[in-house]
Amino acid sequence: MTDYKLTYFDMDGGRAEPVRIAFHAAGIDFDDIRISFSDFGEMRKNFRFTCVPILEIDGTTVTQSNAMCRFVGKKAGLYPEDDLQAMYCDEALGAIEDLLHAIVHTFGLEGDALKEARRNLADGWISVYLEGLKEMLDRGGDYVADNRLTVADLKVSGITRWLMSGQLDHVPTDIVERLAPKLIAHEERVANDPLVLAYYGARG
């Protein structure tokens, strides 16, 4: 039996959440190793590319959350078999990573520097990516690809929820509603999917 260990921050959400949900949907047991942000500061020098999530498969380490999404998503039936739909799925996964990269660059800033950086993000890249994600839904319908739930939907809905949560200081919580309200309905659809409800129900 294959041994899987997934290491990420001690939080629901973020880059590892679609992988966790896909593991559960596939019925695959895995060690859900959750670390604190303070511990990460000490541990990261030992991680490839100094980042998480990290997936260990029988002791072999793999990085890059999108690679994990595809790998586990296939096992869970949450990744398209059709090449074109798979490309649509990959497009969304990559877009979210690009947006996260832009947002992470504002971490560690304080005061006026943080306010200016986040306002520039909201008016710039966040707005650009919300418009782009809306176009993907216009193309795909209720879902990003394959007319059904995929790992791309899990990742897109996660960023939608985060942008509306108020956790990102100086990013207006109504930015999704103003620019891409279709993403709100998408997030609700994903959150109420039986596979997603079953995962969080199992977590209690």
Task: Tell how far CA 61 is from the center of its chain.
Answer: 20
Query: CA dist 4 to 1, 19, 33, 53, Å?
Result: 10, 12, 10, 13
What are the structural domain ranges in the chain?
Answer: 4-77, 83-193
Quote the CA–CA distance of 137 and 152 in Å, as a whole number: 11
CATH 3.40.30.10 fits 4-77, yes or no: yes
Quote the CA–CA distance of 10 and 163 in Å, as a whole number: 19
Digit-by-digit pLDDT tens for the chain (204 residues) are: 899 999 999 999 999 999 999 999 999 999 999 999 889 888 888 888 889 999 999 999 999 999 999 999 999 999 999 999 999 999 999 999 999 999 999 998 999 999 999 999 999 999 999 999 999 999 978 999 999 999 999 999 999 999 999 999 999 999 999 999 999 999 999 999 999 999 999 987
Quote the CA–CA distance of 100 and 110 in Å, as a whole number: 19
For tokens 């030992």, the residue is 46
CATH 2.40.50.140 fits 83-193, yes or no: no
Q: Which amino acid is at 141?
A: G
pTM recorded for the entire structure = 0.94
